[in-house]
């Protein structure tokens, strides 16, 4: 049985949408920028929200900061161009800071903790 180029194109056209559909459904689920969704994912892993600095709104992107060696972790957020910080000690618990970056240059910080 030999496949001609025409038959190969027909097969590809019929199966391509079926193959791409799962990718299109999965990608948006993993790219949430809503702080509540992202914090919820960390809470499912045993972390507890301690404090949220700034405004909760959909972010352009987010990042995380944690250290198992540092004595403390600094949370940084920006409101209306003014930068603020607070240091959270890690004597009895691990600290995780999720920073949410917004289009206008502002940032918000979610501080989570977990027992050592």
Q: How does DSSP classify residue 93?
A: E
Q: Map residue 59 onto helix, strand or coil.
A: coil
pLDDT in tens, 5-41: 566 566 556 554 554 444 433 333 345 678 999 999 9
The answer to whether residue 20 sits within a structural domain is no
Closest C-alpha to 52, from 99, 9, 89: 99
Q: b/e string for 19-49 if b means 16 or more Cβ within 10 A?
A: eeeeeeeeeeeeeeeebeebbeebeeeebeb
Give how many domains the chain has, as a whole number.
1
Enclosing domain of residue 43: 32-115
- What's residue 3's pLDDT? 55
Examine residue 83 and state whether it is found in any structural domain, yes or no: yes
The answer to whether position 8 is within a domain reads: no
| Residue 10 backbone phi and psi in degrees, to 5 | -65, -45
pLDDT tens column, 44-97: 999 999 999 999 999 999 999 999 999 999 999 999 999 999 999 999 999 999
Please report whether residue 104 resides in a domain.
yes
Domain membership flag for residue 79: yes
How many helices (H) and strands (E) in the chain? 2, 6
Within-domain flag for 110: yes
């Amino acid at each position: 049985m030999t496949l001609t180029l025409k038959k190969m194109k027909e097969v590809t056209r019929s199966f391509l949408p079926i193959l791409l559909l799962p990718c299109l459904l999965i990608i948006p689920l993993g790219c949430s920028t809503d702080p509540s969704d992202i914090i919820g994912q960390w809470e499912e892993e045993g972390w507890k929200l301690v404090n949220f600095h700034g405004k909760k709104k959909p972010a352009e992107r987010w990042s995380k900061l944690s250290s198992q060696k540092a004595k403390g972790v600094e949370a940084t957020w920006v409101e209306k161009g003014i930068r603020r910080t607070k240091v959270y000690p890690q004597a009895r618990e691990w600290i995780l800071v999720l920073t949410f970056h917004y289009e206008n240059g502002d940032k918000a910080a979610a501080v989570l903790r977990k027992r050592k």
